[in-house]
Amino acid sequence: MYRVMKRRQLAAAPSIILLEVEAPAVAKKVEPGQFVIVRMDEKSERIPLTVTDFNREKGTITIVIQDVGYSSAMINEMQEGSYFQDFVGPLGVPSEIENYGTVVCIGGGLGVAPVYPIARALKEAGNKVISVIGAKNADILILEEEMSAISDEVVVTTDDGSKGVKGFVTNGLDSILQKGIKVDAVWAIGPVVMMKSVANFTRPLGLKTIVSMNPIMVDGTGMCGACRISVGGETKFACVDGPEFDGHLVDFDLAMKRLAFYRDEEERAKIGKNCDCGKGGAQ
């Protein structure tokens, strides 16, 4: 059993919750970019979530989850002192952390949570870290203070202009490049359409771009094949080959078609009403 040590509501949105969970075996081995699969009790769905933070000394893992279905809503109601039945990990391949020079770490929506430990590790490796964090509006912008603490500069974007630059994270990236700053690598994590937009923006610039894919995932060990994606014309499994891939090689259109099938309300009704298994929960 894995105890919830800390619970915090993020931003003004009650549907986004941060949980710090006691999982010493996972905390001992986890690295930035990896994920866990959690199950609240024996009747719950297995939900993949990218690790937001970890503390090896305390033996804790921090995750962020949004209420998007029955099981995630149940997890969001968990209080300090409650327990997860299962907390499996670390899974996936860690981020390739090295000193690139100047890097831009982009988080859109809940993607700010998984990009945080990557940005911190890149900073510790000697990089200049410029972060771009975006949301639809200021009420659901998360972890701004935490990102500011580990970044040399933070650019905030909101779709409606309620905070920071009005527009998308690509507008934030463009504002950085317009200053004449030489960027050596970009990490972009968020909704698939956002990562596609970033990759399309950076491709003609020849700017190295890493994305974190969050497709349908069942077992997390490569056995089921549900998380397959196409990268450079080859089939890859996000759970064991990723979740990070070269954004310029990912077939985003195929990935979005697969996600749309499971997220369509009529199709979801066929596989189980309010199911969370198609939410791409690795963020």
Q: What's the pLDDT at 273?
A: 42
Q: How far apart are the first and last CA of the chain?
A: 23
CA distance linking residue 178 with residue 12, whole number of Å: 32
> Could you list the pLDDT tens digit for every one of the 283 residues in the chain?
899 999 998 877 678 899 999 999 999 999 999 999 998 888 888 888 889 999 999 999 999 988 777 777 888 888 989 999 999 889 999 999 999 999 999 999 989 999 999 999 999 999 999 999 999 998 889 999 999 999 999 999 999 889 888 999 999 999 999 999 999 999 999 999 999 999 999 999 999 999 999 877 777 777 777 788 889 998 988 888 889 999 999 998 888 887 776 555 444 444 444 444 333 444 4
227 has binding-site annotation: yes
Q: CB within 8 A of 196, min separation 6: which ones? A: 250, 252, 253, 256
CATH ID of 2-91, from 2.40.40.20, 2.40.30.10, 1.10.10.10, 3.40.50.300: 2.40.30.10
Q: What's the pLDDT at 104?
A: 97
Q: What's the pLDDT at 76?
A: 86
Question: ω into residue 90 within 30 of 0, thus cis?
Answer: yes
Q: What's the pLDDT at 133?
A: 94
66 has binding-site annotation: yes
CA distance linking residue 213 with residue 250, whole number of Å: 9
Architecture of domain 94-212: 3-Layer(aba) Sandwich (3.40)
CATH 3.40.50.80 maps onto the chain at: 94-212
Q: What's the pLDDT at 276?
A: 43
224 has binding-site annotation: yes
47, 281 in Cβ contact below 8 A?
yes
Question: ω into residue 243 within 30 of 0, thus cis?
Answer: yes
64 has binding-site annotation: yes
CATH 2.40.30.10 maps onto the chain at: 2-91
